[in-house]
Each structure stands twice: as structure tokens, then as C-alpha cells.
């Protein structure tokens, strides 16, 4: 089976990281992977050993020229199926290119933000199957009118072995030593791993911090990620007098070494499809405090692997963080449960097999529709 994957992300997190995991797993199963991604993206380099990579311009939702670019690639590579991994124009333009080239199309939906019903009715006609990475996303799609016959659930996965390692204090201190914060031995350490965009809820955490800092003056908070909210967040950090407690640490590729050093991962998002960083933290044995929205309750089990709070509620977020910071044994128990759950329910093997099952189903349908032919 030859599969053409289309991913428009620039950096290797979220959907692009999941696409890499899938490419690696499919290659191990003998699948011929083709990958179309944007010029200069991190995925192109990392996927080179498991896919034939073609880079091209990808300029977003209005990039109509992406349609002929992808169609030409399909004609050249002759895939059995096209798998669209992102939006950024790829969901619509890739779907149109697939229809033009006569190739079955699968689209993975990773976000839970609502779309206009007219767009849903038009866009998802382009896709033979729509894979939701959480039941929460599937319910959004179902409510908006995507037919049940097209919907499939395949949850995102985490490389548990990469994160299930003890904290290396020397490495942690070397990284934090490069920051303006410093770290007092034994000081509470909280992390947020998310793009710096409004729906990730960083501002809610900032509003929750003054009460926590009053109680734990040595508390340190690391905000990992990049995004258009960076300048506004820096300004708010300064306004709240938190410049000695909060560090915007940027995008990092060593989260597998840093997450095990956290006491808590906090994810105060107001919208979220599932939350890969929540899976990574759990795999590292780190308890989570997060918002009760979207697919997050599937990633974080209330009172079992973390604590969930109402979205946008800074006092509730502050209280939940305080409750875990003051209870070391509870943190240990939640972290251990999260780690066990990731191994059991969010494995890479399960994610790869779930996607393969969708491919086989689509190709069987195509075979029946054409009375045989090349789909076997």
C-alpha cells in the first residue's frame, strides 16, 4: 500500500509530531510512505528515513495553487490513498486535489473549534473518512452534520519510552541556569507546553499565579512554545510582577528530558482537541492540572491522573495547583497512574493500527466501487 501524507505544519509538535509517529509505524509495517510538507519544515528532515519527502509552498487556507501542486504529486507518485494531517489549507486543497486525481482521501481532525455548517457540509464531502483524535472532536463533527458513516475515532499517541525516564537534575539545572530565573533546590516547578495563542489559556494561569507565589515564593513556571501571543504575555507577566517566576522558554526539542523534572504540567486551554502535551506529561509520570474542555477529559482522568477545572476560572486553577503542590504523595500517585494509563491506552502501536484499519476500510470501499481494479 502506498500512502501520500500531507502535513502543513512548520514545527515538530502537535499534529506534525503525530504524523511522524504514524510514518515511522507504517514504515515498520511495510507501507510505502510519501510525504508532502512545506519548505523548511522540521518534519521533512525527521521523516526522510521513513518516507519519500516532497517539500512545496503551503501558504494557508487561501493557497489555491496548492491544489495543482498536490495533484501533480499524486499523478507522479500514484498513491493508493491520501491522508491529510492538518488544516492550514491542506484539508480543503488536498481534498480537492485528491478528487481531481481520483484518489481516496482520509482527513485527520485534531482540533475541536466549531466550523460553520455550510463549510462542514461542503468540506467533508471531499473526504472518504474523517478521523477524530478524540471523542470530543468526534462529537463536535457529529453535531455539525458530518455523517456517522464517515467518522472514525483514532486517538493520538505518545512515545512512552521516550518520556519514562527519571529527571536528570544536572540537565535541568543547566537549562534553567541559562534562564533569568534560577532555581532554588526543592522549589516547585510548573510547566506549560503549548503554542502561545489565546485558546491555550496562558493568561488564565498568569492571573492564578500571584496567590500561588505569595504562598510559594520560590515557585518557577516555564512556558514552552512560540506564538503570536508572546509579546502580550511578556507584558502581562511584567504587569503582574512575575518576571522572576515565569520564563518564556520558547520551542524546545528536549521536552523528553525536561518534563520528568516538573512537579506539575498545567494546561488551562479554553479549547482543545486532545492535548499531546498532556499525554507526554502523563508518560513522564507528571500529574496534570487542566481545563475540562474538548478532548482533555479523555487525556486526563479526573482524580485519577490529574485535576480538571472549569475553563477560564483563575481562582479554581489556583486552588487546584495549590492542592497538588502541598501534597507530594498525591502528586506521586496521580503521576504513576497517568504513566500506566499511557502505556495501556495511548500506545504508538494502537494509533498506527487504528489508522491502518481506516485505510483498509476505504480501499475495500474503493475496490467494490470499481469492481476490483488496483485496490486489493
- The string of DSSP letters for 161-203 reads HHH-S---HHHHHHHHHTSSS---TT--EEEEES-SSGGG-HH
For 256-294, what is each residue's pLDDT tens digit?
A: 999 999 999 999 999 999 999 999 999 999 999 999 999
pLDDT of residue 12: 82
Are 2-157+347-369 and 161-345 in the same CATH fold? yes
Mean pLDDT of 222-237: 97
Read off the pTM. Answer: 0.86
For 105-150, what is each residue's pLDDT tens digit?
A: 999 999 888 888 888 888 999 999 999 999 999 999 999 999 999 9
Is 317's pLDDT higher than 50? yes
Q: How confident is the model at residue 376 (pLDDT cuts 50, 70, 90)?
A: very low
pLDDT of residue 188: 95
pLDDT of residue 15: 87
Q: Measure the CA–CA gap between 259 and 198, rounded to whole angstroms.
A: 23
Mean pLDDT of 94-101: 96
What ranges do the domains of the chain cover? 2-157+347-369, 161-345
Q: Measure the CA–CA gap between 90 and 229, rounded to whole angstroms.
A: 24
* CATH number for the domain formed by residue range(s) 161-345: 3.40.50.2000
Residue 275 backbone phi and psi in degrees, to 5: 100, 85
Q: How confident is the model at residue 375 (pLDDT cuts 50, 70, 90)?
A: very low
pLDDT of residue 9: 86
**Which has more pLDDT, 180 or 156?**
156
C-alpha cell at 123: 468540506
- The whole-chain average pLDDT of the chain stands at 93
Is 371's pLDDT higher than 90? no
Q: Measure the CA–CA gap between 61 and 52, rounded to whole angstroms.
A: 25
| Architecture of the 2-157+347-369 domain | 3-Layer(aba) Sandwich (3.40)
Q: Measure the CA–CA gap between 275 and 211, rounded to whole angstroms.
A: 27
Percentage above 70 pLDDT, the chain: 98
Amino acid at each position: 500500500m502506498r500512502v501520500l501524507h500531507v502535513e502543513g505544519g512548520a514545527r515538530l509538535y502537535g499534529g506534525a509530531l503525530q504524523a511522524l509517529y504514524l510514518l515511522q509505524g507504517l514504515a515498520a509495517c511495510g507501507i510505502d510512505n510519501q510525504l508532502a510538507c512545506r519548505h523548511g519544515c522540521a518534519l521533512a528532515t525527521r521523516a526522510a528515513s521513513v518516507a519519500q519527502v516532497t517539500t512545496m509552498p503551503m501558504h494557508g487556507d487561501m493557497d489555491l495553487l496548492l491544489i495543482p501542486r498536490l495533484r501533480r504529486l499524486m499523478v507522479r507518485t500514484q498513491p493508493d490513498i491520501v491522508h491529510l494531517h492538518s488544516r492550514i489549507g491542506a484539508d480543503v486543497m488536498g481534498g480537492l486535489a485528491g478528487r481531481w486525481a481520483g484518489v481516496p482521501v482520509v482527513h485527520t481532525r485534531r482540533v475541536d473549534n466549531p466550523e460553520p455548517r455550510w463549510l462542514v457540509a461542503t468540506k467533508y464531502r471531499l473526504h472518504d473518512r474523517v478521523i477524530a483524535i478524540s471523542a470530543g472532536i468526534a462529537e463536535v463533527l457529529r453535531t455539525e452534520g458530518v455523517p456517522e458513516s464517515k467518522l472514525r475515532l483514532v486517538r493520538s499517541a505518545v512515545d512512552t519510552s521516550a518520556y519514562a525516564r527519571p529527571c536528570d537534575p544536572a540537565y535541568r539545572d543547566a537549562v534553567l541556569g541559562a534562564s533569568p530565573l534560577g532555581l532554588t533546590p526543592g522549589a516547585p516547578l510548573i510547566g506549560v507546553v503549548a503554542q502561545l495563542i489565546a485558546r491555550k489559556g496562558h493568561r488564565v494561569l498568569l492571573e492564578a499565579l500571584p496567590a500561588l507565589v505569595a504562598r510559594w515564593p520560590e515557585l518557577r513556571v516555564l512556558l514552552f512554545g512560540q506564538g503570536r501571543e508572546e509579546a502580550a504575555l511578556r507584558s502581562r507577566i511584567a504587569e503582574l510582577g512575575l518576571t522572576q517566576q515565569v520564563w518564556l522558554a520558547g520551542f524546545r526539542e528536549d521536552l523528553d528530558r525536561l518534563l520528568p523534572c516538573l512537579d506539575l504540567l498545567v494546561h488551562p486551554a479554553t479549547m482543545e482537541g486532545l492535548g499531546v502535551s498532556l499525554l507526554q506529561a502523563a508518560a513522564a509520570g507528571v500529574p496534570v492540572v487542566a481545563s475540562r474542555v474538548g478532548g482533555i477529559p479523555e487525556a486526563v482522568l479526573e482524580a485519577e491522573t490529574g485535576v480538571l477545572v472549569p475553563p477560564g476560572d483563575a481562582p479554581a486553577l489556583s486552588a487546584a495547583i495549590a492542592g497538588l503542590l502541598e501534597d507530594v504523595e498525591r502528586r506521586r500517585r496521580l503521576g504513576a497512574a497517568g504513566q500506566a494509563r499511557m502505556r495501556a491506552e495511548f500506545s504508538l502501536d494502537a494509533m498506527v493500527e487504528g489508522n491502518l484499519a481506516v485505510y483498509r476500510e476505504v480501499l475495500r470501499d474503493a475496490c467494490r466501487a470499481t469492481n476490483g481494479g488496483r485496490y486489493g
